[in-house]
Amino acid sequence: MDALTIGEARLEYVRHAGDPARPAVVMLHEGLGAARQWRDLPATLAAATGATVIAYSRAGYGGSSPLPDGDDPRGPRRGLRRPDFMHREADLVLPPLLAALGVARPVLIGHSDGGSIALLHARRHPVAAVIAIAPHVFVEPCSIDAITAAREAYLHGDLRARLARHHADVDGAFWGWNDVWLSSEFRAWDIVADLATVAAPVLAIQGDADPYGTMAQVEAIARACPRTTLLRVAGAGHAPHRDRPDQVLPAIADAVRDAALG
């Protein structure tokens, strides 16, 4: 993978080159993801659409710079993110990253937290389209239950070993996500009002068997953003692009191609 430095962080990324006349696609991973965890989807989209496709790992994930350790009394690698971490990624990291990559008006594809970051970025910055896969725009009880279950799997199951294959700082990646989502301060997190200024077309994709969120998430996006298309994926969980690629990938490719038409 290639890398570049944004602020004090070294961020890894992969680029599949395409037609420079088309809007580039930039992919934002989920809360426990990294650029590599998109698997072959970036290459598949590049081949299907002719667009340049870039996926990067946020700080604290994959092979990107780890987050600096904090002074949380629970111990090392705990409490590394603040409740505004998605706003900060959208407003303070993504603009200089796109500039460094030479990307203007991208198509942003985000999964879970990455979908939320993509929507937040689009509220202030020009984008050709947003494709949000299982995004969060407010906190639901089922999200807290699923994230609590993930903590138990990390402490007592095999989740840590599985994640360690993808993250250089696995404890920072996990606790940076898990601690903030389960903090009392995060329970009031709600970005629905932020979406009123999203002018770009949005494709919002939600599996109806997702333990982390319900259709209420994408329905709230559709009410706030008039150019939203909803895709409900029957039987799919939190990663509908992996659970039902036959249904989801053509819809994503169509949205990317449509964005090139303006």
Per-residue confidence of the chain (262 residues) as pLDDT tens digits?
Answer: 899 999 999 999 999 999 999 999 999 999 999 999 999 999 999 999 999 999 999 999 999 999 999 889 999 999 999 999 999 999 999 999 999 999 999 999 999 999 999 999 999 999 999 999 999 999 999 999 999 999 999 999 999 999 999 999 999 999 999 999 999 999 999 999 999 999 999 999 999 999 999 999 999 999 999 999 999 999 999 999 999 999 999 999 999 999 988 7
What is 2-260's CATH number, 1.10.3720.10, 3.40.50.2300, 3.40.50.1820, 3.30.43.10? Answer: 3.40.50.1820
Amino acid 71: pLDDT = 87
DSSP conformational letter for 238: S
Rg of the chain's alpha carbons, rounded to an integer? 17
Please report how many Cα atoms fall inside a 13 Å half-sphere around the Cα of residue 173, on the Cβ side: 27
A 10 A CB-CB count for 256 gives: 26
Cα torsion angle, 10, 259, 241, 18, sign: negative
- Write down the pLDDT at residue 46: 97
Give the Cα separation of 14 and 1 in Å (integer).
5
d(CA 230, CA 219): 8
Amino acid residing at 28: L
What does the pLDDT read at residue 61? 98
Token pair listed for 156:
């007592």
Q: Can you give the pLDDT at residue 70?
A: 84
**If residue 175 lies in a helix (H) or strand (E), which one and from where to where?**
helix 170-181
The whole-angstrom separation of Cα 222 and Cα 232 is 13
| The pLDDT of residue 103 | 97
Closest to 15 in 3D by CA, of 59, 52, 64? 52
Residues 142 and 165 sit within 8 Å (Cβ to Cβ): no
pLDDT at residue 261, rounded to an integer: 82
**Model pLDDT, residue 139:** 98
Domain boundary assignment for the chain? 2-260
